Amino acid sequence: MLLSMTGFGRSHKVFGEFSITVEVKSVNHRFHECYVRMPRQLVKLEDKLKRLVQSYIKRGKVDLFVTIEGSPLVKQKVEVNLELAKEYRNAYQKLSSELGLQHTIDLSHFLIKEDIIMISEMEENTEIIEEAILGTTTEALKALLVMRENEGFGLRTEFERYLTDIEQILPSIAAVVPEVLQTYTDRLKRKILEHTNGTLDELRVMTEIGIIADKSDISEEVSRLSSHIEQFRSSLNENGPVGRKLDFLLQEMNREVNTIGSKSTDTRISSNVVELKTILEKMREQAQNVQ
């Protein structure tokens, strides 16, 4: 099945007091790259998420976003350092006594001391949360895969249409070749007659015609181009990533078309070559988005 590298998937799930939202998007890329953005407390889950993503997406750049609302990851608690508070109280009393100061010690003296009343964060057990994230991510990836499959179906339809267009042009080129060769032959005979005062050396003519025929023969190129078309069409039905294979076949097809163009100066063939190159360029652009 042909898969596009472009897609988006989203999943939102509620788990009691908290909810998880996972969004994943992918775009075309030569290789597989995955970037994960999620709460720092879950950084140890990153490798698992990347492996999960790669099990669904073999090629392309992937961005994964994990959002947790009603976060159960961290709870805050207030701690009081009573021993230190007593030390401060004793110090205040000593200062008052030694310096003869009249001053009442109250709670405000201690509230400004960050080392007496402290707010700390306590990480909760993350195993349940991790399983919830992995499950939600799986659902998001499935949604993305559906979109990539739909995009791939559209790409396949486009490729089939382009291949049909090419196959319709090739007979037009093949049909012109004998006429082009005959035109070259007649032109050669006239030139020889002009330079030999009307004397025609048949052996020389046949030799020159053979050279011209060899240089202008495009039957091999047309045959190889037809073979590449069949390989391309067959690849559209393969399972797994085929994007690089399609790109290679398009390069080979373009090479054959360029050779056909260089072997003939006939305007009809040149026009067909331009049309073929235009189609191949469109196919190349589409192939860049195939996994």
- For residue 58, what is the domain's CATH number? 3.30.230.70
Predicted model pTM: 0.68
Are 209 and 240 members of one domain? yes
169 plus 61 within the same structural domain = no
Same domain, 93 and 11: no
Question: How does pLDDT run across 89-130, given as a tens digit for each residue?
Answer: 888 888 888 887 777 778 887 777 878 887 766 556 678 889
State the chain's mean pLDDT as an integer.
87
pLDDT at 184: 75
- Residue in the block written with tokens 């979109």: 147
Structural domain boundaries enclosing 23: 7-72+125-147
143 and 155 share one domain? no
Band of residue 213 on the pLDDT scale cut at 50, 70, 90: low
Q: DSSP letter at 57?
A: -
Say how far apart CA 157 and CA 178 lie, in whole Å. 35
Q: Could you report the per-residue pLDDT of 44-59, keeping only the tens digit for each? A: 899 999 999 999 999 9
Report the SS3 class of residue 194. Answer: helix
Separation of alpha carbons 220 and 274, rounded Å? 19
Q: Is residue 139 situated within a structural domain?
A: yes
Residue 190 and residue 116 share a domain: no
Torsion of CA 284, 285, 287, 291, to 10 degrees: 150
Q: Which pairs count as long-range contacts for 8-14, CB under 8 Å and 24+ apart, including other chains?
A: 8/143, 8/144, 8/147, 9/139, 9/140, 9/141, 9/142, 9/143, 9/144, 9/145, 9/146, 9/147, 10/140, 10/143, 11/136, 11/137, 11/139, 11/140, 11/143, 12/136, 13/132, 13/135, 13/136, 13/139
* 174 in the same domain as 105: no
Q: Is 198 helix (H, G, I), strand (E, B) or coil?
A: coil
Specify whether the CB–CB gap between 290 and 155 falls below 8 A: yes
Q: Mean of the pLDDT values across residues 72-91?
A: 80
- What is the structure's pLDDT at 125? 62
Same domain, 249 and 162: yes
Judge whether 252 lies within some domain.
Answer: yes
* Most confident stretch, 75-79, 145-149, 192-196: 145-149
Q: Report the range of poorest mean pLDDT among 72-76, 83-87, 148-152, 261-265.
A: 72-76
pLDDT band at 176 (very low <50, low <70, confident <90, very high): confident
Cα(29)–Cα(38) distance, rounded to whole angstroms?
23
